[in-house]
Amino acid sequence: MSQSEPIKLIAVDVDGTLLDSNHELSPRGEAVLRKAIAQGVEVVLATGKTRNSTVQLIEKLGLNAHGIYLQGVTIYDADGKIQWQQTLDPAVARQIITFAEDRGFSMIAYNGTRMLMRSSNEKIYDGMVKYHEPLPETVGSLQNIINDLPIHKLIALGEPAAIKALRWQLNQQVGGRARLVQAGVPEMVEILPPNASKGTALRQLLKILQLSADSVLAIGDAENDIEMIQLARIGVAMGNAPQFVKDAADDVTASNDEDGFAQALEKYVLPPEAPAASKPAAPAKSEPSTGVKSARADEGKTKAETPETTP
């Protein structure tokens, strides 16, 4: 990065990147974020979750910036209003819901900050609490509401091996009419509008803010972060990211449990801290001069400066 193009925007994934394995922001992470914000850098949260899941984080940090949510299908402004969005084709959504539910998968439909399910599921509810998400609403048949509500994305949940097979089957069925992605959670696959990604949303946000990608630092840890990592001038993968994510990045930092996010900001965004000034040594006390002391000093100096000779 050239010295003339400082970082003006940080796009950061939340879970697995900004937050540690306990879904908490470390003191060091909070400190570097506050320093970046204080020097005028825009901090954009970029997550696959709803905006509601980050409200506490926004309030804690005093963030006054846009945010990328639901894997990049929505951009919210600083006031919490949708500024840009993509939605699934209702026919595609209906086809996917029917196919997955007929095979025993649980489905969640997202409408903005709302999460909708056919019936209650305690296991899913526990997962939502863990990720700071609101509890899904039970609405009965999802197929019956698709024409009345815009659906931003769908999630299918099941056992990892079954989800892997479902992803392949759905790709064969919907082709380019939807995009399937996983966010580091093997028990679920997400269905997005075509070409949707955090990178697509970041590109759109840069147009809104009239910023260049050369002024962006993007940090993430999963498949769903790759596009924004590649778009940014500096794309950083977390140490806990899979290898294919690291391969897509410009740099790899430490893991989310080792303050990797904070280390990346300290390296690329924050100015290096000046070394602590050493305390000047106290001046030596002057003593009355005597001819004897002066003579001995001159004698010692002469000896020190005269190399010894070997016979």
pLDDT digits (tens, 9 = 90+) for 174-218: 989 999 999 888 999 999 999 999 999 999 999 999 999 999 999
Is the residue at 61 inside a domain? yes
**Which tokens belong to 144?**
């019956």
User: Quick one: 99 and 66 in the same domain?
Assistant: no
- Work out the average pLDDT over 22-27: 95
User: Quick one: 74 and 120 in the same domain?
Assistant: no
What is the separation of C-alpha 39 from the centre of its chain, rounded to a whole number of angstroms?
19
End-to-end CA distance of the chain: 63
User: Quick one: 114 and 250 in the same domain?
Assistant: no
User: Quick one: 64 and 201 in the same domain?
Assistant: yes
User: Quick one: 94 and 80 in the same domain?
Assistant: no
Q: Which helix (H) or strand (E) holds 220?
A: strand 216-220
Q: Report the pLDDT value the prediction gives residue 301, as an integer from 0 to 100.
A: 37
Is the residue at 310 inside a domain? no
List the CATH number of the domain containing 109: 3.30.1240.10
8-state DSSP, 300: H
Is the residue at 65 inside a domain? yes
Within 10 angstroms of residue 4's Cβ, the number of other Cβ atoms is 6
Q: Given 152, 172, 192, which residue is the final one in a domain?
A: 192
Contact between residue 108 and residue 124 where contact means Cβ atoms under 8 Å apart: yes
Is the residue at 275 inside a domain? no
Domain count, the chain: 2
What domain range includes position 121? 90-192
User: Quick one: 112 and 173 in the same domain?
Assistant: yes
- Work out the average pLDDT over 270-281: 61
Contact between residue 51 and residue 80 where contact means Cβ atoms under 8 Å apart: yes
User: Quick one: 113 and 158 in the same domain?
Assistant: yes
Is the residue at 13 inside a domain? yes
- Work out the average pLDDT over 132-144: 88
108 beta partners:
117, 155
Q: Given 158, 192, 226, which residue is the final one in a domain?
A: 192
Q: Cβ neighbours of residue 70 under 8 Å, at least 6 residues apart?
A: 48, 49, 50, 110, 152, 153
Q: Report the pLDDT value the prediction gives residue 285, as an integer from 0 to 100.
A: 44
Is the residue at 32 inside a domain? yes
Mean pLDDT, rounded, of the chain: 87
User: Quick one: 64 and 124 in the same domain?
Assistant: no
- Taking alpha carbons only, the member of 199, 32, 251, 23 closest to residue 127 is 23
Q: Which segment of 84-93, 129-138, 154-163 scores lowest on mean pLDDT?
A: 129-138
User: Quick one: 99 and 166 in the same domain?
Assistant: yes
221 residue type, one letter: D
Radius of gyration, CA atoms only, the chain: 28
Q: For the segment 97-123, what is each residue's pLDDT rounded down to a tens digit?
A: 999 999 999 999 999 999 999 998 777
List the CATH number of the domain containing 244: 3.40.50.1000
Is the residue at 286 inside a domain? no
Is the residue at 29 inside a domain? yes
Backbone angles phi, psi at 199, to 5 degrees: -65, -40
Q: Report the pLDDT value the prediction gives residue 136, as an integer from 0 to 100.
A: 87
- Taking alpha carbons only, the member of 235, 234, 238, 233 closest to residue 221 is 238
User: Quick one: 111 and 179 in the same domain?
Assistant: yes
Q: Report the pLDDT value the prediction gives residue 299, as an integer from 0 to 100.
A: 40
User: Quick one: 242 and 186 in the same domain?
Assistant: no
User: Quick one: 82 and 94 in the same domain?
Assistant: no
The C-alpha atoms of residue 224 and residue 228 are separated, in whole angstroms, by 9
Query: Measured at the alpha carbon of residue 111, what is the angle toward residues 13 and 226, in degrees to the nearest 5?
Result: 25
The C-alpha atoms of residue 280 and residue 306 are separated, in whole angstroms, by 32
Q: For the segment 217-254, what is each residue's pLDDT rounded down to a tens digit?
A: 999 999 999 999 999 999 999 999 999 999 999 999 99
